[in-house]
């Protein structure tokens, strides 16, 4: 069984970051170690939140893992609490990533044209340094624009997406994946470009609703899929299909959980979809 570690916050309530990564990656048959970077009462899209930065634990925990000869098949980062923490994550990559493992960075910092409330304008530059060291990055279009300095557009063509992907590769990552790409009103999807020039895209139907935390569900599923041996295209399409199923389930539910998608009831379906992709590959 593969073992990964994910570095992101614990939002105690909110269905995002570690509370999403741990159940999804575990359900996909991959051991999920965690390195919590901050503890929040809830995510930052609530009216208020508490946040205790625990950056001071990253170094001692890493030191102990080195002493215990603990290694990881994958390192996956999500929401990071500060610029300083981005620098610490770069250092973590230097110590724990190597030729034989995979680093996935979700630069979770912005959506719908805006940085999340906890970040200053200088945060994207620090996140770009984290992206530079990743094998795969999975920004949305807002994050990609902030990382590259390109304008954020809501109406665009293939050329804009290609240029964003090329500029993301210039940061230094191995493969750039863009999420939330749409060329027709009814469809939404992802596109990637790698250093060998390989291009890929996958579209699902566009759901009328959107929920917080679906980016975290997406990235966690991609990481799980890659660790189970799916190729990147299959991992991306699996994650897209799962997110659509989570959104549909949430929309159909009457319990009024507004702050995050209901990914839990759809976990059995995720396992079935993973199995189907693994079998069709064999
Ligand atoms: O879903 C990304 C995320 C993760 N963690 C925290 C957040 C957010 C998005 O707002 O606030 C604390």
For residue 16, which atom of ligand 1 is closest to its CA?
A: 1
**Probe target for ligand 1 pocket from 12, 79, 123, with the most ligand atoms within 8 Å of CB:** 79
Task: Report d(CA 236, CA 201) in Å as an integer.
Answer: 9
Identify the residue whose tokens are 């902030």: 146
- Secondary structure of 198-259 as H, E, C letters: CEEEEEEECCCCCCCCHHHHHHHHHHHHHHCCCCHHHHHHHHHHHHHHHHHHHHHCCCCCCC
**DSSP letter for each residue of 144-194:** HHHHHTPPP-SS--HHHHHHHHHHHHHTT-SEEEEEEE-SSTTEEEEEEEE
**C-alpha 43 – ligand 1 centre gap (Å):** 5
Predicted pLDDT of residue 47: 95
Predicted pLDDT of residue 183: 97
**C-alpha 239 – ligand 1 centre gap (Å):** 19
For residue 215, which atom of ligand 1 is closest to its CA?
A: 1
**C-alpha 190 – ligand 1 centre gap (Å):** 21
Task: Report d(CA 65, CA 55) in Å as an integer.
Answer: 16
Q: What is the pLDDT along the chain (282 residues), one digit of tens a residue?
A: 999 999 999 999 999 999 999 999 999 999 999 999 999 999 999 999 999 999 999 999 999 999 999 999 999 999 999 999 999 999 999 999 999 999 999 999 999 999 998 899 999 999 999 999 999 999 999 999 999 999 999 999 999 999 999 999 999 999 999 999 999 999 999 999 999 999 999 999 999 999 999 999 999 999 999 999 999 999 999 999 999 999 999 999 988 789 999 999 999 999 999 999 999 987
Predicted pLDDT of residue 256: 78
Nearest Cα residue to atom 7 of ligand 1: 43
Q: Which residues line ligand 1 (CB under 6 A)?
A: 9, 11, 16-17, 40, 43-45, 79, 108, 116, 213, 215-216
**C-alpha 35 – ligand 1 centre gap (Å):** 16
**C-alpha 171 – ligand 1 centre gap (Å):** 23
**C-alpha 173 – ligand 1 centre gap (Å):** 23
């Amino acid at each position: 069984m593969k073992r990964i570690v994910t570095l992101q916050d614990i939002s105690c309530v909110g269905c995002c970051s570690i509370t999403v990564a741990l159940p999804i990656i575990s359900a996909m048959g991959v051991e999920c170690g965690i390195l919590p970077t901050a503890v929040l009462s809830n995510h930052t899209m609530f009216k208020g939140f508490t946040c205790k930065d625990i950056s001071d634990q990253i170094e001692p925990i890493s030191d102990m893992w080195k002493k215990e000869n603990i290694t990881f098949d994958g390192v996956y980062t999500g929401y990071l609490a500060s610029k300083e923490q981005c620098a610490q994550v770069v250092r973590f990559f230097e110590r724990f990533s190597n030729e034989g493992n995979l680093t996935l960075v979700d630069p979770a910092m912005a959506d719908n044209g805006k940085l999340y409330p906890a970040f200053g304008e200088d945060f994207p530059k620090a996140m770009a340094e984290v992206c530079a060291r990743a094998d795969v990055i999975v920004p949305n279009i807002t994050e990609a624009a902030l990382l590259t300095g390109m304008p954020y557009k809501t109406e665009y063509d293939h050329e804009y997406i290609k240029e964003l992907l090329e500029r993301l590769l210039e940061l230094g990552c191995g493969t750039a994946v863009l999420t939330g790409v749409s060329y027709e009103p009814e469809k939404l999807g992802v596109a990637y470009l790698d250093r060998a020039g390989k291009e890929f895209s996958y579209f699902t139907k566009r759901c009328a609703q959107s929920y917080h935390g679906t980016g975290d569900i997406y990235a966690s599923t991609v990481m799980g899929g890659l660790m189970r041996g799916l190729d990147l295209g299959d991992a991306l399409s699996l994650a897209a299909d799962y997110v659509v199923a989570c959104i549909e389930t949430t929309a159909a539910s009457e319990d009024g959980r507004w702050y995050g998608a209901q990914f839990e009831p759809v976990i059995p379906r995720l396992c079935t979809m993973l199995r189907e992709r693994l079998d069709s590959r064999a």
